[in-house]
Amino acid sequence: MTLSNVGPGAFPPVDGSGSTGDTTRLRSIETWDSRTLNVTQGRRTRTREFVVYATDGSGIVVPSDAVAVQQTGVAYGDAHPEDPGLLALDVTVAVTPEAGRGALRVRFTYRRGELIGPEPEDPLAPDYQEVNLSGDGQFIDTYRDNAAVPDEGTVAPGRVDIGGEPIDVAGEPQSRLLVQGTYVISRNYPLSEYSAPTLLAAIGVRNQAPFLGFPAGSLLYGRPRTSRVAQGVVRVVHQLILDQHRFHLRQQAYATTEGKQLGTNVPGGEGGSHASRVYHVQPFPLQGDLEALNIVRPGTPL
């Protein structure tokens, strides 16, 4: 396993339990060929290598890579003892083939560079989270350009003409590009906080109240995906979908059992016949409390 640019405080404190930095059960030694020097294209790098192992008779293994790194006494950003211009910015931890997890090799690489500040999150930790945004487009049936958009989207609008300029041809809609944005939020949860039925019930639900700074009705919960990433830890990938029409509304022309009602004097029309009345429909009428899904950690901005 390779940890690059591990930040300050990346390793847990000594607690004397035998599982975190317990010097009565774990030992760390620097190997005899530890301190190597490499110069490539004028750039120096140095390395130091340690072996962290369980003491004889203890009957334990080194519990984690982080514990092994902590046992060496080298911290992120420490200067090389023989070359202060180089900093410990990368570390590699490997299981020894001879002793398995009874002994781990820890190799630090020292190079010129800047400290990156806070440590990166552990992707296997119970509260790990990623937020990504992707854009996409689809073509939808459109009867009117520049149609009116409701001020709020918690209730499906009634059959009120949406105005705008007709673009249909004798009641047949035109295809127009609809731009959508999808927030993909990956978060780890302890198994005790994971509920598959709750996630499945949320598919196709829009937010009934403002959520993450977006107005009510504008966020649509998409397809969740889950996977196990560690013992007792489940990763859930949430999808929150927005579109340029704000509330995921679609246009529909008024029709009777005999077909779409057409008119030649539709406001904004330039001759010919168009759908006489067009209104919005809401294909996602279900609304719910997205806060209850615990999608993001408190204070996480999108």
Residue-wise pLDDT for 16-33, tens only, equals 333 334 455 788 889 888
Range 120-148 average pLDDT = 81
Residues 283/269, Cβ–Cβ less than 8 Å: no
Q: What is the chain's Cα-based Rg?
A: 30
Tell me how far the alpha carbon of residue 215 is from its chain's centroid: 21
- Terminal CA-CA length for the chain: 30
Residue 128: which residues within 8 A CB-CB, separation 6 or more? Answer: 121, 122, 186, 187, 188, 235
Residue 302 banded pLDDT, cuts 50, 70, 90: low
Vertex 1: Cα angle to 85 and 87 (nearest 5)? 5
Cα separations in angstroms, 204 against 85, 207, 235, 248: 56, 10, 20, 11
Confidence (pLDDT) at 68: 85
Rounded CA-CA distance 57/293 in Å is 48
Residues 214/159, Cβ–Cβ less than 8 Å: no
Confidence (pLDDT) at 265: 66
Question: pTM of this prediction?
Answer: 0.58
- Please state, rounded to an integer, the average pLDDT across all residues of the chain: 81
Residue 262 banded pLDDT, cuts 50, 70, 90: confident
Task: For 73-94, write each residue's pLDDT tens digit.
Answer: 898 888 899 888 888 888 888 8
Range 218-241 average pLDDT = 90
Q: Can you tell me which residue has the tokens 């949320």?
A: 202
Range 228-248 average pLDDT = 89
Confidence (pLDDT) at 49: 93
Task: For 188-219, write each residue's pLDDT tens digit.
Answer: 998 889 999 999 999 999 999 999 889 999 99
Identity of the residue numbered 146: N
Residue 11 banded pLDDT, cuts 50, 70, 90: very low
Q: What is the 3-state secondary structure (H, E, C) of the chain?
A: CEEECCCCCCCCCCCCCCCCCCCCCEEEEECCCCCEEEEECCEEEEEEEEEEEECCCCCCCCCCHHHHHHHHCCCCCCEECCEEEEEEEEEEEEEECCCEEEEEEEEEEEECCCCCCCCCCCCCCCCCEEEEEEEEEEEEEECEECCCCCCCCCCCCCCCCCCCEECCECCECEEEEEEEEEEEEEEEEEHHHCCHHHHHHCCCCEECCCECCECCCCCEECCCEEEEEECCEEEEEEEEEEECCCCCCEEEECEECCEECEECCCCCCCCCCEECCEEEECCCCCEECHHHHCCCCCCCCC
Rounded CA-CA distance 259/245 in Å is 27
Identity of the residue numbered 138: Q
